[in-house]
Protein backbone atom coordinates (compact mmCIF):
# COMPACT_ATOMS: atom_id res chain seq x y z
CA UNK A 1 0.00 0.00 0.00
CA UNK A 2 1.40 3.37 -1.02
CA UNK A 3 0.98 6.24 1.40
CA UNK A 4 0.73 9.81 0.09
CA UNK A 5 2.55 12.59 1.92
CA UNK A 6 0.15 15.20 3.24
CA UNK A 7 1.87 18.23 4.86
CA UNK A 8 5.21 18.88 6.48
CA UNK A 9 7.03 16.81 9.05
CA UNK A 10 7.81 18.20 12.47
CA UNK A 11 11.54 18.46 11.70
CA UNK A 12 10.86 20.51 8.57
CA UNK A 13 8.72 22.95 10.55
CA UNK A 14 11.38 23.22 13.28
CA UNK A 15 14.05 24.02 10.68
CA UNK A 16 11.91 26.81 9.21
CA UNK A 17 11.26 28.28 12.67
CA UNK A 18 14.99 28.16 13.47
CA UNK A 19 15.88 29.92 10.21
CA UNK A 20 13.30 32.66 10.86
CA UNK A 21 14.64 33.08 14.41
CA UNK A 22 18.21 33.51 13.17
CA UNK A 23 17.15 36.04 10.53
CA UNK A 24 15.17 38.01 13.11
CA UNK A 25 18.10 38.02 15.54
CA UNK A 26 20.28 39.62 12.86
CA UNK A 27 17.72 41.89 11.20
CA UNK A 28 16.16 43.61 14.22
CA UNK A 29 19.39 45.18 15.58
CA UNK A 30 20.38 46.25 12.07
CA UNK A 31 16.99 47.90 11.58
CA UNK A 32 17.31 49.74 14.90
CA UNK A 33 20.75 51.08 13.92
CA UNK A 34 19.33 52.14 10.56
CA UNK A 35 16.50 54.12 12.16
CA UNK A 36 18.92 55.85 14.56
CA UNK A 37 21.19 56.84 11.66
CA UNK A 38 18.20 58.13 9.69
CA UNK A 39 17.12 60.31 12.62
CA UNK A 40 20.68 61.62 13.09
CA UNK A 41 20.76 62.43 9.39
CA UNK A 42 17.57 64.44 9.80
CA UNK A 43 19.14 66.41 12.65
CA UNK A 44 22.23 67.10 10.53
CA UNK A 45 20.03 68.28 7.67
CA UNK A 46 18.22 70.58 10.09
CA UNK A 47 21.51 72.34 10.95
CA UNK A 48 22.78 72.67 7.35
CA UNK A 49 20.95 75.95 6.51
CA UNK A 50 22.18 77.50 9.76
CA UNK A 51 25.76 76.59 8.84
CA UNK A 52 25.27 78.14 5.42
CA UNK A 53 23.81 81.33 6.90
CA UNK A 54 26.74 81.63 9.32
CA UNK A 55 29.24 81.10 6.51
CA UNK A 56 27.61 83.77 4.35
CA UNK A 57 27.47 86.21 7.28
CA UNK A 58 31.15 85.58 8.02
CA UNK A 59 32.12 86.04 4.39
CA UNK A 60 30.21 89.32 4.10
CA UNK A 61 31.15 90.81 7.49
CA UNK A 62 34.49 89.23 8.34
CA UNK A 63 33.23 87.85 11.66
CA UNK A 64 30.39 85.94 13.22
CA UNK A 65 27.37 87.90 14.49
CA UNK A 66 27.58 89.39 17.97
CA UNK A 67 23.91 88.56 18.63
CA UNK A 68 23.62 85.26 16.83
CA UNK A 69 20.47 84.15 18.63
CA UNK A 70 18.63 86.71 16.51
CA UNK A 71 17.93 84.63 13.40
CA UNK A 72 17.19 87.70 11.28
CA UNK A 73 20.78 88.87 11.83
CA UNK A 74 21.79 85.75 9.90
CA UNK A 75 19.39 86.61 7.10
CA UNK A 76 17.02 83.75 7.87
CA UNK A 77 13.81 83.09 9.72
CA UNK A 78 13.51 80.97 12.83
CA UNK A 79 14.27 77.34 11.89
CA UNK A 80 11.24 75.06 11.73
CA UNK A 81 11.01 72.54 14.54
CA UNK A 82 11.81 68.87 13.94
CA UNK A 83 11.18 65.93 16.26
CA UNK A 84 14.86 65.00 16.53
CA UNK A 85 16.18 68.39 17.75
CA UNK A 86 14.71 69.87 20.92
CA UNK A 87 16.80 73.06 21.04
CA UNK A 88 19.17 74.90 18.74
CA UNK A 89 21.22 77.97 19.50
CA UNK A 90 24.10 79.89 17.99
CA UNK A 91 26.76 81.25 20.30
CA UNK A 92 27.41 84.97 19.88
CA UNK A 93 30.76 86.01 18.38
CA UNK A 94 32.05 82.43 17.92
CA UNK A 95 29.24 81.16 15.68
CA UNK A 96 29.15 77.77 17.44
CA UNK A 97 25.90 75.89 16.86
CA UNK A 98 24.61 73.88 19.82
CA UNK A 99 21.81 71.36 19.26
CA UNK A 100 20.16 69.03 21.75
CA UNK A 101 19.01 65.69 20.34
CA UNK A 102 15.69 64.10 21.31
CA UNK A 103 13.35 61.29 20.15
CA UNK A 104 16.22 59.28 18.68
CA UNK A 105 17.10 56.54 21.18
CA UNK A 106 15.66 57.13 24.64
CA UNK A 107 18.19 55.28 26.76
CA UNK A 108 21.47 56.52 25.30
CA UNK A 109 21.11 59.39 22.81
CA UNK A 110 18.23 61.62 23.92
CA UNK A 111 19.55 64.69 25.71
CA UNK A 112 22.91 64.60 23.95
CA UNK A 113 24.22 68.00 22.90
CA UNK A 114 26.33 68.44 19.81
CA UNK A 115 28.41 71.61 19.53
CA UNK A 116 29.56 72.52 16.02
CA UNK A 117 32.32 75.09 16.16
CA UNK A 118 33.36 76.94 12.97
CA UNK A 119 36.89 77.94 12.12
CA UNK A 120 37.10 80.60 9.43
CA UNK A 121 39.96 80.05 7.01
CA UNK A 122 41.04 82.23 4.14
CA UNK A 123 38.70 80.55 1.67
CA UNK A 124 36.40 78.26 3.65
CA UNK A 125 34.91 77.51 7.03
CA UNK A 126 35.70 74.19 8.66
CA UNK A 127 33.49 72.73 11.36
CA UNK A 128 34.60 70.67 14.35
CA UNK A 129 32.08 68.78 16.46
CA UNK A 130 31.96 67.93 20.15
CA UNK A 131 29.39 65.58 21.69
CA UNK A 132 28.30 65.00 25.28
CA UNK A 133 27.50 61.36 24.46
CA UNK A 134 29.85 58.43 24.12
CA UNK A 135 27.27 56.50 22.08
CA UNK A 136 29.28 55.14 19.10
CA UNK A 137 26.55 55.88 16.55
CA UNK A 138 26.46 59.58 17.52
CA UNK A 139 30.23 59.91 17.84
CA UNK A 140 30.83 58.31 14.44
CA UNK A 141 27.97 60.12 12.72
CA UNK A 142 29.01 63.60 13.85
CA UNK A 143 32.71 62.67 13.97
CA UNK A 144 33.05 63.97 17.54
Domain count, the chain: 1
The answer on pLDDT for 99 being more than 80 is: yes
Closest CA to 103 of 83, 118, 121, 89: 83
pLDDT at residue 69, rounded to an integer: 59
pLDDT at residue 6, rounded to an integer: 77
Q: Is residue 3 part of a domain?
A: no
Q: Is residue 5 part of a domain?
A: no
Q: Is residue 77 part of a domain?
A: yes
Closest CA to 127 of 73, 26, 70, 47: 47
Mean pLDDT of 69-94: 81
Mean pLDDT score of the chain: 87
Q: Is residue 124 part of a domain?
A: yes
Q: Is residue 127 part of a domain?
A: yes
| 6 or 84, which is more confident | 84
pTM, whole model, 2 decimals?
Answer: 0.78
Closest CA to 114 of 94, 135, 129, 125: 129
Q: Is residue 105 part of a domain?
A: yes
The domain of 41 spans: 10-142
Closest CA to 90 of 116, 108, 110, 113: 116
Per DSSP, the three-state class of 118 is: strand
CATH number, domain with residue 126? 3.30.700.10
Rounded Cα distance, 75 and 29, in Å? 42
What percentage of the chain carries pLDDT values higher than 70? 94
CA atoms in the 13 A half-sphere facing the CB of 54: 28
- Binned at pLDDT 50, 70 and 90, residue 16 comes out as very high
Amino acid sequence: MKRLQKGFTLIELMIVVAIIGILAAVAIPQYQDYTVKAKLSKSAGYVAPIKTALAVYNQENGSFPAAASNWSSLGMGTPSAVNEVSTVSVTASTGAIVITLTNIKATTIDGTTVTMTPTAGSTAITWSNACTSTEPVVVNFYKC
